[in-house]
Amino acid sequence: MKLPIDGMEFSESAYRKDGKLWDARTLYDFAKARDYPVVDMPLWCVNLGRMPFTCDSLKGFIFQCKRVNNCSLEHPIIVDDEGIIADGYHRVCKAILNGDETIKAIRMLEMPSPDEQTED
């Protein structure tokens, strides 16, 4: 019997920081509109001290592993205006596990208006 571990669609990806939330699509559309270049970012630049997603059970761990296995390195990651990865941690994991030295990245020089904002 196959264990049911759900996947996740791109439309469900979001970045939260300082009480603000951006849908991943908003970030990519903004970067495209600003014509930000895609560059090869060295993976040694990535801060591996952050925990970007919740993994508090074996099922959660398997879900995250599935996301790493299923992601495509054809799409660039997004790095926010402060140098923090806003979208693409699963791709970073895959690239590191593959032994790659770089990953395609877009560096935001400014952030778009958030899709949601909460009072902290």
What whole-number distance in Å separates Cα of residue 106 and Cα of residue 104? 7
What whole-number distance in Å separates Cα of residue 66 and Cα of residue 50? 20
Listed in sequence order, the DSSP H helices in the chain are: 24-33, 58-70, 89-98
Residue pLDDT, tens place only, 9-37: 656 788 999 999 999 999 999 999 999 99
Domain range summary for the chain, segments of one domain joined by +? 38-47+54-111
Q: Whole-model pTM?
A: 0.85
Among residues 109, 70, 120, 112, the alpha carbon closest in space to that of 91 is found at 70
What whole-number distance in Å separates Cα of residue 15 and Cα of residue 80? 10
Residue pLDDT, tens place only, 76-112: 999 999 999 999 999 999 999 999 999 999 999 999 9
